[in-house]
Structure 1
Amino acid sequence: VLSGAAMKVVFNDEDLKTFLAVACEVSPDHPVVISKFVEGAKEIEVDAVANQGQIVNYAIGEHVENAGVHSGDATLVLPAQKLYVETVRRVKRITRAIAKELNISGPFNLQLLSKDNEVKVIEANVRASRTFPFVSKTLKVDFIELATRVMVGAHVTPAQISLLDVDYVGIKAPMFSFTRLLGADPVLGVEMASTGEVATFGEDKHEAIITSMRAANFKLPERNVFLCMGPMYAKLEFLASARELVQMGLDLYCSEGTYNFYKGHGLPCKLLHKPSSAIQPNVTDALQKGEIDLVINVRDSKADSGSLTDGYLIRRKAVDFSVCLLTDVKLATMVVHALFRRKMRDTPYAIKAWDEFGNF
């Protein structure tokens, strides 16, 4: 998806008609651009410096969330941990081709998506991106200095970077201000919503995701978790993580559909009814009383309007009552598995200064 203003992902003709009607009311004199949205694709980010079309240095990172979440809101992992070797080869080939074709001298950034090992370019930005400082800190190579030397015509020697020798992982996590945005839906999408970001490092991706989430004010659950997993694929994908939550001694509370699914798979869980229901026990009351530590709510974009309203109310109540919220199943599974590994090893992660990482 190519990011822009007033964007919307639609899944059927009715959604398209509704959105076009709104778009015409907002700006009848400007066209609406329609492009294909690829579901279930991994997003890859490349930051690089080129000199007269030749690559000087590059870095390849991956988003935890699937393509469709704005890059400013996505959780970025560097070096990439889950890319096929052939995918990396194709990304490098595309990066070299673009640098050569545009005869780039200076910094540039590529955002790509990969599905079934087929790589496509989302956009190419011939400028330094927000991830340049993160890349420089992680790889301990000042990409901005390299780009500046190229642009002023000074001599540039490529830094020796071997990603296979980087024995730690850096993760950049977004920070949001939904508590200050009255009524805003705190869900990730194609338009950027974050107002800041943090970056931390760990011996592996599990340690790095925990430290980065904590730096972004994420509180680790100690008593329980409320699950509202809308689409079936999310319920299935999160099944192993739900078992890990139980093994950590956390109580599971679920919305009705999620409750029926996980109960049917032998997991001990308790039912909390949705906000639109007057039946008790209700998730709204539980959130207001501070009885929930973490809400994991993956919305079903193809659900009926009533379900969408309930999902919004759950997410909004979580934010309003300062309950930690995860809305992406990929990020949720990664965080839960990292918490599980941390619990099982029964030893705290070592606290290190930035310069203690990476003796490569």
Structure 2
Amino acid sequence: MEIVYNDEKLIKYLATAVQVDPERPVLVDKYLNDAIEIDIDALADSAGNVVIGGIMEHIEQAGIHSGDSACSLPTRTVSTRCLDIIRSWTTKLAKRLNVCGLMNCQYAIIPSGEVFLLEANPRASRTVPFVSKAIGHPLAKYASLIMSGLTLPELGFTKEVIPKHVSVKEAVLPFEKFQGCDILLGPEMRSTGEVMGIDYEFSGAFAKAQIAAGQKLPVSGTVFLSLNDLTKRHLAEMGRGFRELGFNIVATSGTAKVLQLEGIPVEPVLKIHEGRPNARDMLKNGQIQVMVITSSGDDLDSRDGLQLRRLALAYKVPIITTVDGARATMDAIKSMKNKSIEILALQDYFEPANAPQKLQAAQAAP
């Protein structure tokens, strides 16, 4: 699968990526720009009872495979109206399909608020272990018992759990093991595992998930920005966000020009093909602590951009390739600057009477 933005890319894809003949049709879907993707797991029994297990909001926009995208439970930005639609449609689907056990659905919400059903799978999803830990209920066990003849009321699971804490799932990607492989995320899944962070705030949970996934987020230094034309409209927000966190900004010419017009201090840096010293030299010299690169997908990016992304990977410099990932990273860095990361046992999040005292004790400890 591939997302194509113009006729030239479509022709290249058809010429190099697939064989096209009557026996091998090509499926073309309309891409939903700037859409939020939602995952939902639900349980249904033979008596027609349906209970929502958990609703997850993807951090990266629709277009990144759900297995590669980070996600948050509960949702962060989805309106109550959209959540009600998603719950209603999922319940009706489970009943109409006579699901007995687990079901997973994926939705997309475009900026206007319109909800699209992407797919409905009457089976367990890879999200079930994450949701089970987030809400404190073993969904796979419940599904097995339901398929053996028990009902949801008999199991005592009759209502969706909305936890007071925030859980973030992050994908673990194997790019270091594959030399020359680009690290850009897309509609084809590449992750080989996942980790989870839990906190009472999203920013803290996301920071913990990044640390668990091997991303060492810096709290100071220099950020390198290089955004394609489709995402340049987010530059001012991103530039101001990193400046407020105390970071210096370096950027390639086009990105730097936009930031300068917005009055944001930035140091222009040469692209690799433009001469030296360039961004590659800065990476090697330890002058860049975090990188945000959104790919243009052209031939130049396939050379220069690929080199930079692979070099950042080799030098263990955190690299973010989506706008929403950059926003979440800024939130996480802000949280890390304002307070130290504290660890609670998973069980403590489900003991409301004990959790605050244990958290206070952990924060007071030297």
1:12–1:244: structure 2 CA closer, same or farther, 3 Å change rule?
Answer: closer
Q: CA deviation at 1:323?
A: 1.8
Asked if 1:255 corresponds to 2:249, the answer is no
Asked if 1:265 corresponds to 2:262, the answer is yes
The residue aligned with 1:3 is none
CA–CA distance in structure 1, aligned partners of residues 224 and 349 of structure 2: 36
The residue aligned with 1:215 is 212
Q: Secondary structure at the match of 2:293?
A: strand
Asked if 1:338 corresponds to 2:315, the answer is no
Q: Deviations over 1:145-193 (max 9, x none)?
A: 11111111134325255555x2210000011111111111101100011
* 2:322 paired residue among 320, 323, 328: 328
The answer (yes or no) to whether the contact 1:295–1:325 under 8 Å persists in 2 is yes
Q: Deviations over 1:170-217 (max 9, x none)?
A: 000011111111111101100011111101101111111111111111
* Unaligned ranges ≥5, structure 2: 353-366
Residue correspondence of structure 1 range 38-187 to structure 2 within 5 A: 38-52=32-46, 53-115=48-110, 116-157=112-153, 158-159=156-157, 161=159, 163-164=161-162, 166-187=163-184
Q: Deviations over 1:87-135 (max 9, x none)?
A: 0011011101211111100111111111122111111111111110110
CA–CA distance in structure 2, aligned partners of residues 254 and 216 of structure 1: 27
Asked if 1:306 corresponds to 2:337, the answer is no
Q: CA deviation at 1:244?
A: 2.9
Aligned identity (percent) is 32
CA–CA distance in structure 2, aligned partners of residues 119 and 258 of structure 1: 33
CA–CA distance in structure 1, aligned partners of residues 271 and 20 of structure 2: 33
Asked if 1:348 corresponds to 2:348, the answer is no
Q: Secondary structure at the match of 1:45?
A: strand
The answer (yes or no) to whether the contact 1:248–1:340 under 8 Å persists in 2 is yes
Q: CA deviation at 1:141?
A: 0.9
Q: Secondary structure at the match of 1:100?
A: helix
CA–CA distance in structure 2, aligned partners of residues 27 and 289 of structure 1: 51
Greater alpha carbon shift after TM alignment, 286-295 vs 134-143: 286-295
Q: Which runs of 4+ in 1 moved over 3 A?
A: 23-29, 160-164
CA–CA distance in structure 2, aligned partners of residues 104 and 14 of structure 1: 44
1:58–1:211: structure 2 CA closer, same or farther, 3 Å change rule?
Answer: same
The answer (yes or no) to whether the contact 2:204–2:335 under 8 Å persists in 1 is no
Q: CA deviation at 1:27?
A: 8.5
Q: Secondary structure at the match of 1:198?
A: strand
Number of residues of Structure 1 aligned to a counterpart in Structure 2: 347
CA–CA distance in structure 1, aligned partners of residues 161 and 150 of structure 2: 26
CA–CA distance in structure 1, aligned partners of residues 18 and 345 of structure 2: 53
CA–CA distance in structure 2, aligned partners of residues 193 and 47 of structure 1: 22
1:325–1:98: structure 2 CA closer, same or farther, 3 Å change rule?
Answer: same
The answer (yes or no) to whether the contact 1:47–1:107 under 8 Å persists in 2 is yes
* 2:277 paired residue among 269, 278, 281: 281
The residue aligned with 1:204 is 201
Q: Deviations over 1:199-241 (max 9, x none)?
A: 1101111111111111111112232111111125x33324233
